[in-house]
Amino acid sequence: MFPVAILAGGLATRLRPITEKIPKALIEVAGRPFICRQLDYLRGQGITRVVLCTGYLGEQIEAVVGDGHAFGLDVCYSPDGPTLLGTGGTLKRALQLLGERFFVLYGDSFLPCDFREVQQAFVSNGRPALMTVLHNGDRWDKSNVLFRDGQILEYNKHSPRPEMEYIDYGLGILSADVLGGYPAGQPFDLAAVYHQLSLTGKLSGHEIHERFYEIGSHEGLKEAEIYFSKKEMA
């Protein structure tokens, strides 16, 4: 299985005051830090190596997770340093730890899907990048993907159009060379990378049918709490 980059460096301003003293990844959800739930799930998906891209209060995440041994994983870190690099810039910085092909997911997302199936879709498609998508219809957030007949025609996070009925599910696979033209050490957004790839036919799509959970907002945090509480009672 490809390694996984977890983007866990944001300031999480929407979750203040919770995140004034701890990073979003360490927020407790149903009694456990969210990052611990993510790592346990990744191990169950057959993942063995994780690169945590950290920024704001990242040293706290490292203190909890360590080298990943407690989770049955090999975990290493790529901190932003003094300048927050954004989701794209932090990935560019981490490339030497990630290799040629890798999964990307966000540090505030829990994604109930089959990672092996997603990887197989990427390999069989042959394009340099893949985005998982969910038929969303603006239910959980603003839909931002034009996806037809198994193909992504456009992804546009910042200017979505009414005909876009799908949303970025939150799990992608990238080839390292798609970041080659972007400046090292400078902030840029992964959404801009995906947008450009979609317009040039280089972004394949893989549809997921189970909803995602996220802790990027207070409402999302409540829904995630309910989801995990029910799972543990089952």
* 155-173 pLDDT, tens digit each: 999 999 999 999 999 999 9
Q: What is the residue type of 36? A: C
CB 202 within 8 A of CB 129: yes
Dist. CA 190–CA 13, nearest whole Å? 19
CB 209 within 8 A of CB 114: no
In this prediction, residue 130 carries a pLDDT of 98
What are 135's strand-pairing partners?
Answer: 166
Dist. CA 76–CA 66, nearest whole Å? 8
Dist. CA 161–CA 192, nearest whole Å? 16
- CATH number of the domain where residue 182 is located: 3.90.550.10
Average pLDDT value over all residues in the chain = 93
* Residue-wise pLDDT tens digits, 176-205: 999 999 988 899 999 999 999 999 999 999
In this prediction, residue 141 carries a pLDDT of 76
**Mean pLDDT calculated for residue range 194-223:** 94
Domain count, the chain: 1
Check whether the bond before 17 is cis (ω within 30° of 0): yes
User: Model confidence at 13, in pLDDT bands (50, 70, 90)?
Assistant: confident
| Helix, strand and coil in the chain, % to nearest 5 | 35, 25, 35
Q: What is the residue type of 164? A: M
Nearest to 187 by CA among 88, 68, 66: 88
User: Model confidence at 3, in pLDDT bands (50, 70, 90)?
Assistant: very high
Instruction: For residue 27, give its domain range.
Output: 4-233
CB 111 within 8 A of CB 168: no
pTM (2 d.p.): 0.94
**Mean pLDDT calculated for residue range 126-142:** 88
3-state secondary structure 184-228: CCCCCCHHHHHHHHHHCCCEEEEEECCCCEECCCHHHHHHHHHHH
In this prediction, residue 65 carries a pLDDT of 97
Total residue length of the chain: 234
For the chain, how far is it from start to end, CA to CA, in angstroms? 29
Percent of the chain past pLDDT 90, that is, above it, reads 79
Dist. CA 19–CA 23, nearest whole Å? 6
In this prediction, residue 234 carries a pLDDT of 65
